[in-house]
Structure 1
Amino acid sequence: MIILKELKNFTDGTSSEIDIKNYILEHPEDIEKMSARELGKATFTSAASVTRFCKKLGYKGYPEFRFKFMSELKFSTGKNNENIELVATENVVTIVRKVTEIQKRAIEETSESLSFEKLKKITKDIHNAEIVDFYAFDLNYYLTQYGCSQYFHARKKTNTYTATNMQAINALMSDEKHFAIFISHTGENGRLVEIAKILKERKTKILVITANKNSTLTELADDYLFASAPKTFQEFLFPAFYSSVKYILDILWGIEFSMEYEKNIKLNKVYDKIGEKALWGLLKKIDLGYTK
């Protein structure tokens, strides 16, 4: 936060320069689109005053200052132990910075908890399974849809259902050839717990992705992966968990895709070819050039 610190510590300038400084600190989201002339007009000064102010801070001129100022706003994240919460006076700049920080911290904390040996074991089980079934409720269901879509591109058959009865029936039809992935923030969803019990009886291996390492679901699972959702994120709790789970799903999918890379690349090239010809349409006399 070098530039912000420089601005806050700038106290010995002229009255015009202090006005420019205060405007920048109070309206940071406006600076990106403002020229020196426009900033001068907004502060009842001039483009020349803006240029002198920037040079006093050690920059060649306003364009260099503006570029570095906006870069710092977008990519600087502050203290890692700082609470992140929404307030009534949010602007575009603070929202961008907070969301960037949320995803960065969530992924870093999730990454730190990952065991390479555990990932190797889990991805081997997924690769050996004929079908991967996802189980989740509410907003987490959209993560299962994402996971299914990714695995299709790695030639892996997947299932996910939003209705409780469909998830239960799918579990009853499962066996040791299936692999189940549960997504639950608390790991204590009663419906998921009952479905996990069914899968245990069906001898289906279970992976739980959760923010609660000591939950009922993790006790029932063969393995679990920790998805970070720090309480310091306040209102951003679910976005943090969502980012963490997506990060884990991307890792699992990436390993699966690489195991049979050439075959998967071939499938996706054929998919692109179909899309260019008649996406979602009736295909006639198209040489797909792909066999299983």
Structure 2
Amino acid sequence: MSQRILDRLNENYHLSENDQVIVTYLLEHLEEIPQLSSRELAKKTYTSATTIIRFIKKIGYKNYSDFKYHIVLMLKNMNLDNYDIFSGEDILSISQKVSQLENDTIQKTKDSLNQKDLQDIVSSIESQKYVDIYANDTNSTICYYAAHIFSRLGIFVQVYKDTDLQINHALNIKNNHVIMIVSKHSRNPYLIDLSQTLLRRHIPFIVFTGQNQNRLSQNATYTIHTPFDPQSSSIQEWVFYTSLKYIFDLIYSLLYSMSYEKTKKYEQLYDQIFFKNL
């Protein structure tokens, strides 16, 4: 597994001998990387701090802090190739892969979340009560799911999947709604332009994306990363949707806990109305 990841990185970034030593160490010590300084990593890989900085810039990171925050998630994502579905696989093999993939995806998402950012996001939603989401295609379907479950908490979500509505909303929205942008690849030019519009208008917004380095995140107030590697396999879109649903479920659960008594009373009233004539 580690050799396959090393080969892929070498193919994409033309790694030097020192780079390969660094990658090998990263793969074997993923959990300790966030605690290491660049000098400590250089010492452990028998290289230099200059070599470390050169390496992280080669693979697309701006600085060492940015690298530490994202590299573990990136390398873990590449391990998801192990769950590819092949022609002729039996039911037992596929069922094991599907269940393990969902578990691993949720665990990787959980590990990558910034707890302070998540708490800030939840507090903002609880305070504002209104959430507007820009999302296209299947992404919007997951967001409609969020709209349904959040409404049980008295929080109302509007999903904008049409480009003209997204543009008009970004041009007119006041600073009293929570704005979210959902994009797997973060390459949609309209969404990038909308993020710049929101930034110019000083409207805070949250980006949900599967890409570590992208222009949407550069403009965002908060970014939540999900496991997603578009080069690795045909199951990656499913991984993104599983991760996105988990994040919405997590936000819902935190909000539920914050207003537990109020929500329980609301649920009783809802059930009285909904089941009255059934």
TM category, shorter: 0.5 to 0.7
> What does residue 241 of structure 2 align with?
242
Length-normalised TM-score, structure 1: 0.64
Quote the Cα distance in structure 1 between the aligned partners of 2:219 and 2:257.
30
- The match for 1:255 is 254
Aligned to 2:158: 159
**What stretches of structure 1 move > 4 A for 4+ residues in a row?**
230-233
- 1:231 and 1:161 map into 2 onto residues whose CA distance is 24
TM-superposition CA deviations, 1:49-80 (whole Å, max 9, x none): xxxxxxxxxxxxxxxxxxxxxxxxxxxxxxx7
Tell me what 1:268 maps to.
Answer: 267
Q: CA deviation at 1:113?
A: 0.8
Partner of 2:145: 146
Question: Matched residues in 1 for 2:257 and 2:161: separation?
Answer: 29
Question: Is the 2:130–2:157 contact (alpha carbons within 8 Å) kept by the matching residues of 1?
Answer: yes
Amino acid of the structure 2 residue aligned with 1:147 = A
Q: Which moved further from structure 2: 137-146 or 112-121?
A: 112-121
Q: Residues 184 and 82 of structure 1: is their aligned pair in 2 closer, same or farther, counting only changes over 3 Å?
A: closer
Q: 1:82 to 1:185 in 2, by over 3 A?
A: closer
Q: Could you report, residue by residue, the CA deviation over 1:59-113 in whole angstroms, capped at 9, with x for unpaired residues? A: xxxxxxxxxxxxxxxxxxxxx7762212111222222112112211111111111
Match for 1:106: what amino acid? T
Please say if residues 106 and 229 of structure 1, whose CA atoms lie closer than 8 Å, have aligned partners that are also in contact: no
Q: Which residue of 2 aligns with 1:188?
A: 187
Q: How does 1:40-79 map to 2 (within 5 A)?
A: none
Q: Which residue of 1 aligns with 2:108?
A: 109
- What's 1:170 paired with? 169
Point out the structure with max Rg over C-alpha.
1
Correspondence for 2:17: none
In 1, distance between residues paired with 2:80 and 2:158?
39
Identity value in percent:
26
Q: CA RMSD in A?
A: 1.9
Following TM superposition, by how much is the alpha carbon of 1:203 offset from its aligned partner in structure 2, in angstroms? 2.9
How does 1:18-97 map onto structure 2 within 5 Å? Answer: 83-97=82-96
Query: Partner letter of residue 85 of structure 2?
Result: L
Of Structure 1 and Structure 2, which has the larger fraction of its residues in helix? 2
Contiguous gaps of at least 5 residues in structure 2:
1-78
For 1:137 and 1:212, how far apart are their aligned partners in 2? Answer: 16
Given that 1:126 and 1:179 are in contact with CA atoms closer than 8 Å, whether structure 2 keeps it comes out as yes
Say if 2:129 and 2:154, in contact at 8 Å, map to a contact too.
Answer: no
Q: Residue deviations 1:233-265, cap 9 Å, x none?
A: 611111111111111111111112222221112
After TM superposition, the structure 1 = structure 2 runs for residues 216-235 of structure 1, keeping only pairs within 5 Å, are 216-230=215-229, 234-235=233-234
Q: Cα deviation per residue 1:173-216 (whole Å; 9 max; x = unaligned)? A: 31110111111111221121122223223432111111112111
Unpaired runs of at least 5, structure 1: 1-79, 280-292
Secondary structure of the corresponding residue to residue 187 of structure 2: coil
Separation (CA, whole Å) in 1 of partners of 2:123 and 2:172: 22
Distance 1:189 1:228 in 2: 19
* Residue matched to 2:204: 205
Aligned residues: 200
- What is the CA deviation profile of residues 140-195 of structure 1, one whole-angstrom value per residue up to 9, with x for unaligned ones? 01111011112111111221122111222222231110111111111221121122
CA gap 1:84/1:235 in 2 versus in 1, 3 angstroms: same
Check 1:272–1:220 CA distance in 2 against 1; reply closer, same or farther (3 A cut).
same
